[in-house]
Amino acid sequence: MSGYLCGAVGCKYGRERMGGDWRLYNEKDMVRDGFLYALGLGVVAVLVWLLTHSLAWVAVPVPLALFFLWFFRDPDRAVPTGVGEIVSPADGVVTEADWIETAAGSRLRLSIFLNVFDVHVNRSPVAGTVKTVEHREGAFLNAMKPESGVMNEQTLVVIDAGGYEVSYKQIAGLLARRIVCTVKPGDKLERGQRVGMIKFGSRTDVLMPADALPKVKVGERVRGGSSILAVLPQPVGDGARAADLSSGAVVRR
């Protein structure tokens, strides 16, 4: 299936295969870019050594190569399967939790800040069908600032979970200059499925029905695909399907 690779220069298409593993974009436990950056820096390290024979100079590109391998890690996660559970689409710290008014009515909004040390692969908060994917150009303010959710470059994804909608925003930050979104309208998603990433520090917002019961608080650290952000009071949408599974069961993605 196709998706968007979006950034300051616009959007390109990527592909994803069934099960959430990215074709052409990731390998096992690693987003492809990690290998590309590390390989490039490895070549630089070799050239520097050949030209200078100085370990001091080689010590610059080698740690950077290791950092990129670590930054683009993509570990499997244990995805909860409980009724009406909405999981975090990103790793990071919850910076905002409030109820807001939107054109579609009241929504509970949770904001998650990702620093450069967090896993940056995004995951779907619920199972359902992608209804909308909208990319908007914008500024690159510090993602910790509240106004970044409105002014910064971002991609909005709306998911029809069957009886309710959940949306998430991939928001670029001060360092993040490329948003990768691997889904398009009509795609069927599983809860916790990989749906893209934001490079080098960013923010992810989640909007859900106003009657959802928050399970996290501001300042709490969450993990994409495995931390439960909120639970709907009634078993609807993907929760109805999860009800067939044993309580507290998880799947790995």
For CA atoms 227, 229, 231, 232, give the dihedral sign.
Answer: negative
* Identified catalytic residue from 88, 111, 148, 202: 202
Please tell me what DSSP assigns to residue 123.
E
Nearest-Å Rg of the Cα atoms of the chain is: 19
202 part of the active site: yes
- The answer to whether 143 and 113 have CB atoms below 8 angstroms apart is yes
Please classify residue 129 by burial: count the beta carbons closer than 10 Å to its beta carbon, then call 0-12 exposed, 13-18 middle and 19+ buried.
Answer: middle
Q: What are phi and psi of 22, to 5 degrees?
A: -80, 120
SS3 224: coil
Which residues are catalytically annotated?
A: 202
